[in-house]
Structure 1
Amino acid sequence: MAQQNNEEGTALIHMQKPEWRGSMISASFNFINSIIGSGIIGLPYALAQAGLPLGLLLLVLVGFITDYSIVLLIKGGHLSGSNSYQSLVQSTFGFPGFFILSALQFLYPFIAMISYNITTGDTLTKVFQRIPGVGPDHILAERHFVILLSTVMFTLPLSLFRNIERLGKVSFLSMVLTLTILIIVMIRAATLGPQIIPTENAWAFAKKNAIQAVGVMSFAFICHHNSFLIYNSLEQPTLSKWSRVTHISVGSSLIISAAFAVAGYTTFTGYTQGDIFENYCRDDNLATFGRFCFGFSIITTFPLECFVTREVVSKVICSRPLSKAEHVAITLLIVAVCTALSLAFDCLGVVLELNGALSATPLIFIIPSACYLKLHPGRWFQSEKLIPTVLIIIGLFVMITTLIMTGLFPQDCSHGVEMFYCADANISGTMPPE
């Protein structure tokens, strides 16, 4: 089964009906939704890791690689006669390839759900503290309690749905909320940014954690699981049509992502956290509204990722539809493990780096290129095989280096603590000084 959603929160449910055929415009819109999701929230942190100029160059590079590998994926499908990512890998590398892809497609949404819980805990605690009578010592300001509360009241009940179509309206809502958050971050960049003194080397061309930043960017841009679904939704799908849809979608997403990343990073420079909303002060009303939008988006996205994870488990272990009891048991197990891990780890930046390295990088850089190299006729040193070969090498380098550096040099997090600059009355308020 193709994964239905990414770390950005998109569901393309209405396109699952095979008789549905749409225009290139509607396909492009759905593809942009597929890319622009919750992963965008960590892009300012990626610039803090890499440095602003190099970070932007890397973001453009990841966007280019995403564009190229998506087209490559469909080309591989044409060569093998496959109509899904899973069938392409299975027809190319047999059951071992199918098993590896299934593991990666399990790992990506599973780690994403952990990051969603972490974000919910960090984000909604500050929203609740804007309620009169709720202070830093109140139970609603305790991230562990908020994570458990949102799990019991919202994410678990929604995750128990057997029919994912019942969650299909999340796609449009998620896009609206993401654009709202972008506007808020850009406004605060203009009103709050000038009041915060930039950190040392804030405008340096490059920083030592640039490779880790690529992992975060890969997590934000991954959308390959929806590629075949969107391609098959086109009226009379062709490679030329698909290339135009991909270029428009990835290009538009890159512009939005770059604007968000630059606005967030230039506001806080070296203080930028893995969750950009951790940087805003508790009594910043505009940021609080942004936190609410993002927290709501995350809560409604979690069940979609749980659906994907559960389906991967059912396909690999059961090889048949789950009974009602099995459905409930597996859902409870997945949600419980995710919740336990999110209670134990509260640094979103590290989680984004790990998910980018362990799952997003192989799914974007390595697997599409490997499938194309094996399926394409001719010798290995042909020019058409040069770029896929380079992408595999880059993917392996980014994957291994990110894992090593994340393990050896984990990044510090604020862990929900109010940032030091919020003590300034002018900064902590919603209005800039005159």
Structure 2
Amino acid sequence: MFFYNTNIFLLEQKETDDQTSLVYKPRNKRGNSDLPSAGYNVINSIIGSGIIGLPYSMKQAGFPLGVLLLFGVAYITDYSIILLIKGGNLSGANTYQALVNKSYGFIGYLILSTLQFMYPFIAMISYNILTGDTLTKVFQTIPGVGPDNLLTDRRVIILSITIIFTLPISLYRDIVKLAKVSFISLILTTIILVIVMIRAATLSPLVPETENAWVFAKSNAVQAIGVMSFAFVCHHNSFLIYGSLKEPTLSNWSRITHVSISLALIISVVFASCGYVTFTGYTEGDIFENYCRNDDLTTFGRFCYGVTIILTFPLECFVTREVIANVFFSGTLTTILHVAVTVIVVAVATSISLGYDCLGIVLELNGVLSATPLVFIIPTACYLKLSEERWNHSDNLISCLILTVGVVVMTVGFVMTVLHPQECSHGKEMFYCFPNNASLYNSTLPPF
């Protein structure tokens, strides 16, 4: 999916407004995507399942600092995916992997391939955790389904969903068959955002503020950056979207990037703020863990989110399988190998998710170990390697700064996550949902 093929791309020169830039077009098929369509793809690459952990990142960093960091991560994302295309133009590369290979050789290619395997693989684990957390609460609302019912056992739910839905869909060989997933996912995410906004107004008065809820900064800010990076990483799609444009120029790509990242940032800030304002220090890694089980509106939100996860899981599995195919099998899998690799990857991810049920640490680890290098470190390192500008050129200086920040976030974030893992109250009904608060809470629910 994301790997370099020298046989299908043609290098051309195209005049832009003020300079000549290198443009890469498919040899056999011209790109036909307009700017709005490409922008939609970029937004959808960001606004997905990772958004559910953004309120938790506000708790980790401190709300004021968290909002500022979210703006910072968005800026770095914007800057680094433009750097990727600049680096591609300098090196003649058409993919992230080819860019790293031309910058740092085969060792760099292997490092990037490892990261591009880790990111979706850990995401698969987090999706299974979310599936178990989310759908068990949906099923609890069914009349006659009690606490001892199999439908309320997260392990049973994860195994059932894997066997019935995610594994069969993951076995598709052609990712085009999953093309409608992005559109459905974006619609469902919008519905979830509206629900979180409504509950910020109706539920937050009933949840007491925790101590130091509005302190400017907290000690776990570095892990928060990892969670935010996990939500914003979209670099593996950048070359594909750029190559799909009718007019793939750096100027067009910059406009698409600026608009798309800005809209994604607005949605992310609203979601993170509403979620944190509602629950402050009680905010969980999965924000739906905070809502009461007798809340029909958020139950509908859980259902929407559960569907989103089920539809998104196969996309991540597709990427992990492609990495394995390209590194170990020269990019081609026989039918038997295709099935075997898919089953093994899904089975390992599912086994880990059955044994661990706290989402926060999973988001932190995937953020600091995978997303941070993909967003902060590798794009800037490649550009610095290829740049022909003077050392004090603005792009070189900013790249050095982002690279340094990325190394610090990755190193410190990993150490802090391992030494000081966050507590998790998975599966527990929050105190403000108990009967003594239920009547007051129910009276504030709007008539849906």
Q: TM-score, normalised by structure 1?
A: 0.95
Rg: which structure is higher?
Answer: 2
SS of alignment partner, residue 429 of structure 1: helix
Deviation at 1:427, TM superposition (A): 5.8
Question: 1:163-178 residue pairs with structure 2 within 5 A?
Answer: 163-178=174-189
Identity percentage of aligned residues: 63
SS of alignment partner, residue 411 of structure 1: coil
Inter-partner Cα distance in structure 2 for 1:332 and 1:427 = 49
Q: Any idea what the Cα deviations from partners look like across 1:365-386, whole Å, max 9, x if unmatched?
A: 0000000000011453444311
Question: 1:236-315 residue pairs with structure 2 within 5 A?
Answer: 236-315=247-326
* C-alpha contact 1:281 1:428 (8 A) present in aligned 2: no
Go from structure 1 to structure 2 and tell me whether the alpha carbon gap of 1:62 and 1:320 turns closer, same or farther (over 3 Å shift): closer
- Counterpart position of 1:387: 398
User: Cα RMSD over matched residues?
Assistant: 1.7
Say yes or no: does 1:46 pair with 2:53.
Answer: no
Question: 1:19-418 residue pairs with structure 2 within 5 A?
Answer: 19-418=30-429
* C-alpha contact 2:30 2:246 (8 A) present in aligned 1: no
* C-alpha contact 1:16 1:229 (8 A) present in aligned 2: no
- Counterpart position of 1:12: none
* C-alpha contact 2:31 2:243 (8 A) present in aligned 1: no
Inter-partner Cα distance in structure 2 for 1:252 and 1:381 = 32
What one-letter code is carried by the residue in structure 1 that aligns with 2:2?
A: A
Inter-partner Cα distance in structure 2 for 1:143 and 1:235 = 47
Inter-partner Cα distance in structure 2 for 1:99 and 1:426 = 58
Inter-partner Cα distance in structure 1 for 2:109 and 2:148 = 49
Q: Any idea what the Cα deviations from partners look like across 1:380-402, whole Å, max 9, x if unmatched?
A: 34443111111111001000111
Q: TM-score, normalised by structure 2?
A: 0.92
What one-letter code is carried by the residue in structure 1 that aligns with 2:127?
A: Y
What one-letter code is carried by the residue in structure 2 that aligns with 1:425?
A: A
Deviates more, 1:235-244 or 1:270-279: 235-244
Inter-partner Cα distance in structure 1 for 2:245 and 2:377 = 26
Alignment length, in residue pairs? 423
Inter-partner Cα distance in structure 1 for 2:264 and 2:443 = 29
Inter-partner Cα distance in structure 1 for 2:96 and 2:67 = 29
Q: Any idea what the Cα deviations from partners look like across 1:76-120, whole Å, max 9, x if unmatched?
A: 000001111111111111100110010000000000000000000
Q: Any idea what the Cα deviations from partners look like across 1:106-140, whole Å, max 9, x if unmatched?
A: 00000000000000000000000000011222111
Runs of 4+ deviating beyond 2 Å = 15-20, 378-384, 426-433
Deviation at 1:320, TM superposition (A): 3.6
Structure 2 residues without counterparts, runs of 5 or longer: 4-25
* C-alpha contact 1:112 1:305 (8 A) present in aligned 2: yes
- Counterpart position of 2:10: none
Go from structure 1 to structure 2 and tell me whether the alpha carbon gap of 1:375 and 1:314 turns closer, same or farther (over 3 Å shift): same
Go from structure 1 to structure 2 and tell me whether the alpha carbon gap of 1:430 and 1:169 turns closer, same or farther (over 3 Å shift): farther
What one-letter code is carried by the residue in structure 1 that aligns with 2:237?
A: N
Deviation at 1:431, TM superposition (A): 3.6
Inter-partner Cα distance in structure 1 for 2:423 and 2:347 = 26
Go from structure 1 to structure 2 and tell me whether the alpha carbon gap of 1:33 and 1:95 turns closer, same or farther (over 3 Å shift): same
What one-letter code is carried by the residue in structure 1 that aligns with 2:36?
A: I
* C-alpha contact 2:203 2:441 (8 A) present in aligned 1: no
SS of alignment partner, residue 213 of structure 2: coil
Inter-partner Cα distance in structure 1 for 2:293 and 2:281 = 20
Structure 1 residues without counterparts, runs of 5 or longer: 4-14
What one-letter code is carried by the residue in structure 1 that aligns with 2:60?
A: Q
Deviation at 1:198, TM superposition (A): 0.8
* C-alpha contact 1:283 1:428 (8 A) present in aligned 2: no
